[in-house]
Amino acid sequence: MARTELLFGAGQVGMARWKTFLSHEVTPRFPDGLTVLDGYGQWKAPNGKISAERSRVLLLWHAPGADADARIDVIRDAYKKQFHQLSVMRVDSVDCVSF
């Protein structure tokens, strides 16, 4: 299966707003399941400033393909727009999965 990790800056996004985002943007596009991990990260903004903040890592396992890629990009774009973020990092890999 394809594995996609999305890393969201969460400095100003409280738990209630995050859960609403998950229920409206993520779950309808990936109803089979997901995992969210809390984290802390930093990155260098285009202006050169290093920003550090809480983060959330969304793990999705899904069938690979253009349809899943499009759904993932909609999620990323929605988060950036809704929470005024410059980016949502995406990491893709392939895993052997069993349930």
Q: Give the domain extent around 14.
A: 2-50+64-94
Residue 30: what pLDDT? 97
Residue 17 maps to a domain:
yes
**Rounded to an integer, what distance in angstroms lies between the CA atom of residue 91 and that of residue 98?**
21
Radius of gyration of the chain (CA): 14
Residue 59 maps to a domain:
no
Residue 45: what pLDDT? 86
**Rounded to an integer, what distance in angstroms lies between the CA atom of residue 60 and that of residue 83?**
21
Residue 15: what pLDDT? 95
Residue 80 maps to a domain:
yes
- Rounded to a whole number, what is the largest CA-CA distance in the chain? 45
pLDDT in tens, 32-89: 999 999 999 998 988 999 989 999 999 999 999 999 999 999 999 999 999 999 999 9
Beta bridge partners of 74: none
For the chain, how many structural domains are there in total? 1
Return the exposure string of 82-98: e unless at least 16 CB atoms fall within 10 Å of the residue's CB, then b: ebebeebeeeeeeeeee
